[in-house]
Chain A
Amino acid sequence: MITIIDYGLGNLGSVKNALDKLGINSLISKSTTDIEKADGLIFPGVGAAGEGMKNITREKLDKIIKQEVSKGKPILGICLGMQLFMSRSEEGNVNCLNIVEGLVQKFMTQLKVPQIGWNTVQIEKDAKLFVDIPQNSYFYFVHSYYCLPTNKVAIGKTTYETQFCSALQKDNIYGVQFHPEKSGSSGLQLLKNFTKIVYENNTSN
């Protein structure tokens, strides 16, 4: 079972709808038990980093997420969820979960911010999260900030005037800046791939 972590922000229903459509068993919850017993976790989010971290610490979700991630449980952060994996965000100047080293920065561009719409992802070869997804596929983005990881964890890159990390993997931690649940068939494939990773992980343990 996959638990979609509820920290009071964002479009949780959309992720659940997409998983339902794919026949993947999931649950929206913030309870420690549901997070502990899950085979994999999805950490979504739309909104501001400051507000997000406030809710996460209040609900003591930071400790439980770190605990489960350190056990090797696969987790997929979506949009703000991916950003909250980093060490620190410029948005509201807050410390984040720090499970992936790096910063979250605002777009400095003449282009319109937020970036809203479909943009291509240049996929790193052999990235498991992108199996059966063609190179330079379009995904749906809505964001003003982006991740700047310290280490080479990017598995997808996108250009919005400058090139940024639009997908990352550090061991069992996966993050995507775009919304797979709103990216049509490519997005559904990505969620299917993540689920496969989750259950492969489960059998190998």
Chain B
Amino acid sequence: MLAKRIIPCLDVDNGRVVKGVNFVQLKDAGDPVELAKFYYQEGADELVFLDITASSDNRKTMIEVVKKVAQELFIPFTVGGGIRSVQDIKGILLAGADKVAVNTAAIKTPQLISEGARMFGNQCIVVAIDAKKNRRKWEVYINGGRTPTGIGVLDWAQQVAKLGAGEILLTSMDRDGTKKGFDINLTKVISESVAIPVIASGGAGTKEDFMAVLKEGKADAALAASLFHFGEFSISEVKEYLIDNKIEVRK
């Protein structure tokens, strides 16, 4: 049976991993390659690198990071953040990433999804959707969650699936950083209305949260950042808990 995936996410600023990563085992906690290998040994099924570099001059640094990671990491990894064109997608994939995540640019130019999928295959186009609940409706936000679009999350999810996205990375902005658990309702609604895998993100705080989103939320994968970085519990602990609760994960 296909296993549910646990995916740590790393923020990279100008070639260095940021956000208080602090493991005693690591010589250099800011080195993306060292952290990637650490998470791989911990049992991560994939990795996501989010490039948060503000200046576009420094974006070339990310390509170098991707090349180095690809030489040392033998599980799939996705790169997101600031990808605006087919050229950007090509650059990241040629450097050795398996997938790219597009967000703001996909809303502005939906053809980026179809064009990217046509040129490089659906499997490497991940559409990241930042969702926030306004009254009764989930709305898509862009520009790192700063700008509302007026577009409904369900409509957008179905549209990106039709355009050829291979996966959806769905982040609940309401839950992100709260540790109150994933938004089960949101994840379930989206996962059940598209035929492509959904990666749930935002709000993980306990091992039970992972079980809830993978089981009731029908997510295909669950992503977390700070939880793993601060070592509150490890990926292998989450996986042991899931196995004990009869959820199929890779051992």
Contact = CB atoms under 8 A, between A and B. Distances in A.
Contacts of B96: 13-14, 17
Contacts of B121: 46-48
A21 B45 contact: no
Contact of B2 (A18, A117, A185): A117
A181 interface: yes
Interface of B: 1-5, 40, 45, 70-72, 74-76, 94, 96, 98, 121-124, 166-167, 195-197, 220-221, 250-251
Contacts of B71: 17, 20-21
A117 B1 contact: no
A20 B73 CA distance: 12
B166 A184 contact: no
Given A13-B70, A112-B196, A138-B250, A117 B5 contact: yes
Nearest to B40: A184
Contact of A184 (B1, B4, B74, B94): B74
Contacts of B94: 13
Contacts, number: 75
Interface residues of A, number: 33
A116 B167 contact: yes
A139 to B, nearest CB: 9
* Interface of chain B: mostly helix, strand, loop or mixed: loop
Interface in A112-139: 112-120, 138
A119 B74 contact: no
Contact of B70 (A17, A116, A138, A159): A17
Contacts of A14: 70, 96, 98
A117 B220 CA distance: 9
B121 to A, nearest CB: 5
A142 interface: yes
A183 B72 contact: no
B75 A160 contact: no
Contacts of B197: 112, 116-117
A149 B251 CA distance: 30
A199 interface: no
A138 to B, nearest CB: 4
B147 to A, nearest CB: 30
A138 B3 contact: yes
A184 B74 CA distance: 5
Top-10 shortest CB links A-B: A138-B250, A118-B250, A118-B3, A142-B123, A119-B2, A182-B76, A17-B71, A117-B2, A47-B121, A13-B96
Given A21-B72, A21-B74, A159-B1, 8 more contacts: A14-B98, A46-B123, A115-B2, A141-B2, A160-B2, A181-B74, A182-B75, A184-B74
Contacts of B220: 112, 116-117
